[in-house]
């Protein structure tokens, strides 16, 4: 499930910026990139003015309130309605484009506007019983209240303007989730900055519905940072995901020029390989990191075809697939059931031992919510295969050849399944 923010102060800031810069408002015929750039510029302008100009701040807060009313069915200014509709349409178009490129699929797409008022009602219905309390015109959860779990703090669930905050919307989301299906478990992933907030939220939820609380697990993640330093969107100093991916893809294309094998491929195939290698490099760098820590992206190591990298895994499976194509050409079929006593194989290889471990590694990674266990395993497996490959002639007339082909087939199957679990694309050739 993807949970998107289509109401809130960030929307108010963006719409304010769009209206103030109405003369530059994109036409329907303009490119999606130009439309989204206009959105980004509007957000940055609105954010800066909100902090620097008291009049602008008041206007933005008023727009924010009108957006909530509009989503509840109240008529609003035409400029606000058009800006809201177009802004959401353009933004989602770019998100969906990126989801498709990254092979990211969602069963459900839920927006804050769909759960805001449900969340607000839940908060209001739990004031008299003491879960929430009124404070200076707002409604808060007093985390420091006697008898509550240590380490919680006080947070606002309905602000002084009568609008639900993230916390209240989150309550609405939890109840909506369990209306959609009776989940065994709800795993929520947010940035590290929201870790303390989410603990307070779970504290409030536990006093409203303990069963849903017990079914909810929260994990937080760090930020992806470049070796050049921190990225920030407040002043517009941000690296766009699409630009970042294109830059990496360009680097891959440059590297490919050094490979005679790849240079023999047509442009369509080379573009497909570069796309998959770029995506694999980024995903691997993120997934090999333990949960909660920042990820530092270094292009040199991330795009290396040797060692601890996504491209190394992709290269290893592409090499194995090339061997299997040669075996097929020679009509050399894999025979996995051949008795080892009939072969000149005396010891079980490291590769065979590694292949045997795959199910237990995946099971443990699932139990511990630790994809890095799979990345580590696949690197060790690829290393074992490449060492074995270097000391064995796989396609030959030797009696061991069918078994070696079977072992190569097993490696491809396990590697393919492992990369699929990590959502890392598998090139057929490299």
Task: Give the model confidence (pLDDT) of 52-91 as tens digits.
Answer: 999 999 999 999 999 999 998 999 999 999 999 999 999 9
Tokens representing residue 368 in the block? 């511990």
Under the banding of pLDDT at 50, 70 and 90, the label for residue 235 is: very low
Count of other CB atoms within 10 angstroms of residue 51: 11
**CA proximity to 111, closest of 98, 92, 125:** 92
* Residues 402, 66: Cα–Cα separation, whole Å: 71
Closest of 322, 314, 316 to residue 426, by C-alpha: 314
The whole-angstrom separation of Cα 335 and Cα 404 is 8
CA distance 419 to 375: 9
**What rounded mean pLDDT belongs to the chain?**
91
Question: Which of the pair, 274 or 429, is modelled with greater confidence?
Answer: 274
Residue with the two structure tokens 């360009």: 250
Average the pLDDT over each of 80-89, 189-198, 264-273, 341-350 and give the range with the smallest value: 341-350
SS3 call for 155? strand
Mean pLDDT of 120-143: 96
Query: In 209-258, which residue ranges form alpha helices assigned H by DSSP?
Result: 210-214, 241-256
Considering the entire predicted model, what is its pTM?
0.86
pLDDT bracket for residue 234 (50, 70, 90) = very low
pLDDT of residue 343: 56
**Helix (H) or strand (E) segment spanning residue 70:** helix 54-71
The domain locations on the chain are 2-226, 241-421
Q: What is the pLDDT of residue 260?
A: 64
Tell me, what's the pLDDT at 364? 98
185 pLDDT band (50/70/90 cuts)?
very high
**Orientation angle between helical segments 54-71 and 32-52, nearest 10 degrees:** 130
Residue 295, helix vs strand vs coil: strand
User: Domain 241-421 belongs to what topology?
Assistant: Isoleucyl-tRNA Synthetase; Domain 1 (1.10.730)
Q: Model confidence over 24-61: pLDDT tens digits?
A: 999 999 999 999 999 999 999 999 999 999 999 999 99
Q: Angle CA(252)–CA(258)–CA(260) in degrees, nearest 5? A: 115
For the segment(s) 2-226, the CATH number from 3.30.70.20, 3.40.640.10, 1.10.1660.10, 3.40.50.620 is 3.40.50.620
């Amino acid at each position: 499930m993807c949970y998107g923010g289509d109401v809130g102060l960030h929307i108010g800031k963006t719409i304010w910026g769009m209206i103030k810069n109405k003369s530059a408002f994109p036409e329907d015929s303009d490119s999606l990139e130009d439309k989204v750039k206009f959105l980004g510029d509007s957000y940055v302008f609105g954010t800066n003015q909100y902090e620097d100009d008291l009049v602008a701040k008041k206007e933005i807060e008023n727009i924010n309130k009108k957006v909530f009313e509009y989503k509840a069915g109240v008529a609003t200014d035409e400029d606000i309605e058009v800006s809201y509709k177009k802004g959401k349409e353009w933004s989602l178009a770019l998100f969906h484009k990126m989801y498709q490129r990254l092979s990211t699929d969602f069963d459900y797409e839920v927006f804050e506007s769909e759960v805001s008022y449900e969340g607000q009602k839940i908060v209001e219905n739990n004031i008299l019983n003491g879960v929430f309390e009124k404070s200076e015109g707002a409604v808060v959860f007093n985390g420091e209240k006697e008898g509550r779990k240590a380490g919680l703090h006080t947070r606002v669930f309905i602000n002084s303007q009568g609008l639900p905050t993230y916390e209240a919307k989150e309550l609405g989301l939890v109840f909506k989730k369990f209306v959609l299906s009776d989940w065994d478990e709800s795993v929520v992933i947010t940035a590290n900055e929201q870790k303390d907030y989410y603990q307070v939220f779970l504290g409030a939820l536990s006093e409203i519905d303990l069963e849903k609380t017990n079914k909810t697990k929260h994990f937080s993640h760090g930020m992806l940072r470049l070796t050049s330093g921190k990225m920030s969107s407040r002043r517009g100093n941000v690296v766009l995901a699409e630009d970042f991916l294109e830059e990496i893809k360009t680097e891959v294309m440059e590297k490919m020029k050094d490979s005679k094998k790849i240079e023999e491929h047509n442009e369509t195939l080379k573009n497909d390989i570069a796309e998959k290698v770029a995506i694999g490099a980024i995903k691997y760098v993120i997934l090999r990191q333990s949960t909660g820590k920042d990820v530092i992206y270094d292009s040199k190591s991330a795009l290396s075809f040797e060692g601890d990298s996504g491209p190394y895994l992709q290269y290893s499976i592409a090499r194995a697939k090339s061997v299997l194509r040669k075996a097929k050409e020679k009509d050399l079929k894999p025979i996995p059931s051949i008795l080892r006593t009939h072969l000149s194989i005396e010891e079980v290889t490291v590769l065979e031992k590694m292949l045997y471990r795959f199910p237990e590694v995946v099971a443990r990674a699932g139990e511990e919510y630790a994809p890095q266990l799979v990345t580590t395993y696949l690197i060790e497996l690829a290393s074992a295969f490449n060492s074995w490959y270097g000391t064995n002639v796989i396609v030959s007339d030797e009696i061991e050849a069918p078994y070696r082909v079977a072992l190569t087939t097993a490696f491809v199957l396990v590697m393919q399944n492992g990369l699929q679990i990590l959502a890392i694309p598998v090139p057929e050739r490299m």
